[in-house]
Structure 1
Amino acid sequence: MDFINNLALGFSVAFAVKNLFFCFVGVLGGTLVGVLPGVGPLATIAILLPVTFSMGPDSALIMLAGIYYGAQYGGSTTAILLNLPGEASSAVTTLDGYQMARKGRAGPALATAALSSLFAGTIATLVIALFAAPLTHVAMAFRPPSYFSMMVLGLIASVVLAHGSVLKAIAMVLLGLLLGIIGTDIYTGTTRLNMGMLELADGVDIVALAIGLFGIAEILRNLETNEVRDVLNEKVKGLWLSLADLKRIFMPSVRGTAIGSALGILPGGGAMLSSFAAYIVEKKVSKNRAEFGQGAIEGVAAPEAANNAGSQTAFIPMLTLGLPSNAVMALMIGAMIIQGIQPGPDIIVKQPGMFWGLIVSMWIGNFMLVLLNLPLIGLWVKFLSVPYSVLVVAVMAFSAVGIYSASGTLFSMYELGFFALLGYLLMRLGCEPAPLTLGFILGPMMEEQLRRSMLMSRGDPTVFLTEPISLAFLVAAAIVLALLALPSIARKREEAFIESEG
């Protein structure tokens, strides 16, 4: 009965006119972001953070969530039509989706992507609704040592699943932790690491950091490529799937949904890892494996279902534990902090309307996306003809105005410029900024739980080993590091990321 009542509360919040509007804005923006290569949901959410200041917490999170899972839909359009993945998680879709388009089956490929994503989104949202609340109650039993050890495991897992060198990923996490503790000590009230700047007494501005690292830095990197985009002029026909096609995509969609739902919860996992894993599994179990790479419809259904399921179940650790599973979830937590909401298991008690409203809005958003994507395919492709120079000026101006209007200080503009240059430098050095963001968000939380643990144990560090839940997390973290040190595991990790990108 409680579950029904909670869903009823969620429907009442999600169907409020303003929330329906912001849900539509989110999925519309997410689709556009997915269609335009080189932008991505991470940069977009970072750029739009200042906009959420004047919004209620439920509306803000509903819109930002719509951008995230909406981008998974939009990325498939250019992946299928132009062999150009708009979003990283859609890279796998190009393998068979583009081949289907070349054979005159672009319509069925796009319909497959939309329907498998709708199925996955519906099931993944049900998974969130069923398991988020029970996990929240379990999390309420966590003590400070358990929280600290859980965050240690989360950061180590994000290092394992980050692209590139493990050492560089660890360095990014440590840099994020250092940036996170700049400001005023929560217990003594003294400022630290602020280099004598009073503007840093409250810490580094998360909005400036996010927009600089992911928004402006990504734009600077894209300007180097100067790629020319060809626009598909041929009209897409035949969006309806035959009965034979529906039978072929059903089980791949089910398997992709299951894989995405599981991997989306893992730190660093999410949509991209899910789509890659689903494609590999489908290629091994399919009766039509000879068609893979030549236009197999299963090769579109499985990764598209997986990336949408993975993008939505990533909300589970964020909502129940206050632990971001990827950089996008870190920004979502940042949006909650900006709204004055402390992430963690208390959310379901203190903000039940926001909690259940966000979950229900995902169902609404998934249906909106199907209505947006199939009829407006031609419109989305036309957006690719917009000169990138125009987009650059618009995005940078919007970012600067948004940050300045939110803070009202010139110093925030200096922060934006600093992190933009830092992000660009890190990209040139092959360092992924996502682990840095996770470290920045989790750093203050880890420090608070660490110091609470030491106060509780009167300075005895063995408290992290004597508490069973904490010990389990630390043992898991040690196992992950040990496995990563094995040459065979490291080699397979590199091969997996190379294949997923290519």
Structure 2
Amino acid sequence: MTEMFEHLAMGFGVAFSYQNLLYALVGCLLGTLIGVLPGLGPVPTIAMLLPITYGLEPVSALIMLAGIFYGAQYGGSTTAILVNLPGESSSVVTVIDGHQMARRGRAGPALAAAGIGSFVAGCLGTLVLAAFAVPLAEVAFLFGPAEYFSLMVLGLVGAVVLASGSLLKAFAMTVLGLLLGMVGTDIHSGVVRFAFGVPELMDGLGFVVIAMGVFGYAEIVANLGKPADTRQIVTARPKDLLPTREDARRMTPAILRGSVIGSVLGILPGGGALLSSFAAYTLEKKTRLQAGEVPFGQGNIRGVAAPEAANNASSQTSFIPLLTLGIPPNAVMALMVGAMTIHNIQPGPEVMNTNPQLFWGLIASMWIGNAMLIVLNLPLIGIWIRLLTVPYRWLFPSIVLFCAVGVYTTNNNVFDIWMVGLFGLVGYLFHKLDMEPAPLLLGFILGPMMEENLRRALLLARGDWMVLLERKISAGLLMAALLLLLMVLLPTLRRTREQAFVQE
């Protein structure tokens, strides 16, 4: 415990530098802005800003990108409450009770509940990250190629099982991601795979291209397909921002429950903010209503505080597998792998030893960032309301332009702009078919890593596949993946999983 506090003291020393405070502020502001704007989430925004981080110090770059991530979770709730439209996928649940509170003239307490819940959960999630980082990093040193391969198999199975919607669709998206990851030249044999004679594909598909296409462009097209009159905007500036004493009494235990759920589910591959918010809301609905409390779906403050706490806690703890094992649990963390690679930093247990300033500086910056969010955003509510009244047909051209510029500057290649347009159409098709694109992105980033570790393990074992079962940790991870698949196929658990994603 003493060692952890010493590390955190060093981290706060790094995070409190003038430069890093500035980048944390920029990240939080940008994150809130993209969370407020429907159709532009943290994945395409971080992808767009990756080229900018070339010229930054590694710590400053990661602090800014992390600020964008958890800032977007906060901003999404503002749109959900005021416009009845989630700016972020994790804010889908906040719409249910948050907008009803706004229509009753209680937009202020709803926004405050979301802000306070996010701050408390963010602090608790960061504490969990700081507490578990060192022990998990020590465990990671026991991992060899076979263990890493098995861990990635478990991660992909978790992404399928915990993805919203159909299991079959999630499985298909994961396999498609693995296939897309194989495009390009095989580093071991030098053979070009799945390039179909296109020279630009010999180096493989760009991660930024796929991320921006299936998340950014596809979401823009989907939003343009919705009638403008479906956006019920509450334009009046809230008068009473603070919740009443009764509100505080009801939402405090809900925030704590949501924080615990989010902290646990954020660590799991494929769990993330969306599942955490659904799970927290489902738990609150199963909790008995108190005397005089508004029913869920009609403006219950617990229905805002719990899911917002859950999605923010999960956004903090999702850094645990990235920083300690080098495995991204969700699409945003996969982009963070790209950001670390740009700066020649290999994600994994070695980061803590080789670059402790980066590791602990990033953790400390999350506390500072969460404090910035709650101080900044409550006074800025009036600005966000005015921004939301701008017609979407005026906003989307600038979003498309910035995405195109971001894709081009990654490789200075016009071919990438055509490819992001193609993946935008593919992503829109996924949207119409109700297929969650996150498993595709995880399959794409983990596929080459799985192949490399499997080949390395077989090379060391002279081609003996039993090495995956002879090594205890590897066998345990594969067994856990198999049990997870078998459990989710049981009728009772399957129904529970489906009910967790039901909106009322």
What is the TM-score of this pair, normalised by structure 1?
0.94
Deviation for aligned residue 1:108: 2.0
Q: 1:186 to 1:347 in 2, by over 3 A?
A: farther
Q: Which is worse superposed, 386-395 or 489-498? A: 489-498
Q: Which amino acid aligns with 1:212?
A: G
- SS in structure 2 of the partner of residue 459 of structure 1: coil
Distance in 2, matches of 1:94 and 1:206, equals 31
1:104-138 Cα deviation digits (max 9, x unpaired): 33222222221121111111111111111221111
Which residue of structure 1 lines up, in the alignment, with residue 295 of structure 2? 292
Deviation for aligned residue 1:472: 1.0
Distance in 1, matches of 2:247 and 2:186, equals 60
Q: Which amino acid aligns with 1:103?
A: R
Is 1:381 the counterpart of 2:382? The answer is no
Is 1:142 the counterpart of 2:146? The answer is no
Say which of 314, 318, 334 aligns to 2:318. Answer: 314
Q: Which is worse superposed, 295-304 or 63-72? A: 295-304
Distance in 2, matches of 1:225 and 1:233, equals 20
Q: Which amino acid aligns with 2:281?
A: Y
Deviation for aligned residue 1:230: 4.0
Q: Which is worse superposed, 95-104 or 106-115? A: 95-104
1:393-450 Cα deviation digits (max 9, x unpaired): 1122112222222312233223323322322233233332211110110011101110
Q: 1:277 to 1:430 in 2, by over 3 A?
A: closer
Q: How does 1:92-241 map to 2 (within 5 A)?
A: 92-228=93-229, 229-241=231-243
Q: 1:424 to 1:244 in 2, by over 3 A?
A: closer
Q: Which amino acid aligns with 2:353?
A: V
Number of aligned positions between the proteins: 500
- SS in structure 2 of the partner of residue 264 of structure 1: helix
Distance in 2, matches of 1:488 and 1:193, equals 41
Deviation for aligned residue 1:174: 1.4
Is 1:336 the counterpart of 2:340? The answer is yes
Q: Is the 8 A contact 1:50 1:207 kept in 2?
A: no
Distance in 1, matches of 2:60 and 2:288, equals 42
Q: Which amino acid aligns with 1:38?
A: G
Say which of 490, 494, 499 aligns to 1:495. Answer: 499
Q: Is the 8 A contact 2:237 2:385 kept in 1?
A: no
Q: Is the 8 A contact 1:252 1:282 kept in 2?
A: yes
Distance in 2, matches of 1:339 and 1:195, equals 32
Q: 1:434 to 1:485 in 2, by over 3 A?
A: same
Which residue of structure 1 lines up, in the alignment, with residue 375 of structure 2? 371
Q: Is the 8 A contact 2:154 2:480 kept in 1?
A: yes
Q: How does 1:470-489 map to 2 (within 5 A)?
A: 470-489=474-493
Identical aligned pairs, as a percentage?
57
Q: Which amino acid aligns with 1:378?
A: G
Distance in 1, matches of 2:198 and 2:440, equals 22
Which residue of structure 2 lines up, in the alignment, with residue 257 of structure 1? 259
Q: Is the 8 A contact 2:47 2:406 kept in 1?
A: no
Which residue of structure 2 lines up, in the alignment, with residue 442 of structure 1? 446
Which residue of structure 1 lines up, in the alignment, with residue 455 of structure 2? 451
Q: Which is worse superposed, 451-460 or 418-427? A: 418-427
Deviation for aligned residue 1:468: 1.1
Q: Is the 8 A contact 2:36 2:75 kept in 1?
A: yes
Q: 1:286 to 1:256 in 2, by over 3 A?
A: farther
Distance in 2, matches of 1:232 and 1:261, equals 32
- SS in structure 2 of the partner of residue 291 of structure 1: coil
1:32-68 Cα deviation digits (max 9, x unpaired): 2222223222232233333323333222221221111
Structure 1 segments of 4+ aligned residues over 4 angstroms from their partners: none
Distance in 1, matches of 2:99 and 2:196, equals 53
- SS in structure 2 of the partner of residue 232 of structure 1: coil
Q: Where does structure 2 lack aligned partners over 5 or more consecutive residues?
A: none
Deviation for aligned residue 1:287: 5.1
Which residue of structure 2 lines up, in the alignment, with residue 270 of structure 1? 272
Q: Is the 8 A contact 1:46 1:214 kept in 2?
A: no
Q: 1:70 to 1:63 in 2, by over 3 A?
A: same
Q: Is the 8 A contact 1:96 1:292 kept in 2?
A: no
Deviation for aligned residue 1:363: 0.6
Q: Which amino acid aligns with 1:270?
A: G
Which residue of structure 2 lines up, in the alignment, with residue 408 of structure 1? 412
1:274-332 Cα deviation digits (max 9, x unpaired): 12222222233355285332333222222221111111111111111111211221222
1:90-110 Cα deviation digits (max 9, x unpaired): 222233333333333322222
Deviation for aligned residue 1:195: 2.7
What is the TM-score of this pair, normalised by structure 2?
0.93
Deviation for aligned residue 1:469: 0.8
Q: Is the 8 A contact 1:46 1:207 kept in 2?
A: yes
Q: Is the 8 A contact 1:46 1:215 kept in 2?
A: no
Is 1:356 the counterpart of 2:360? The answer is yes
1:51-89 Cα deviation digits (max 9, x unpaired): 323333222221221111112211222322333322222
Distance in 1, matches of 2:94 and 2:338, equals 31
Q: Is the 8 A contact 1:47 1:215 kept in 2?
A: no
Q: Which is worse superposed, 471-480 or 208-217? A: 208-217
Q: Is the 8 A contact 1:37 1:87 kept in 2?
A: yes
Which residue of structure 1 lines up, in the alignment, with residue 283 of structure 2? 281
Q: 1:79 to 1:402 in 2, by over 3 A?
A: closer
Q: 1:421 to 1:92 in 2, by over 3 A?
A: closer
Deviation for aligned residue 1:173: 1.2
1:13-37 Cα deviation digits (max 9, x unpaired): 2222222222111111111222222
Q: 1:494 to 1:279 in 2, by over 3 A?
A: closer
Q: Which is worse superposed, 424-433 or 361-370? A: 424-433
Distance in 2, matches of 1:201 and 1:352, equals 37
Q: Where does structure 1 lack aligned partners over 5 or more consecutive residues?
A: none
Q: 1:405 to 1:105 in 2, by over 3 A?
A: closer
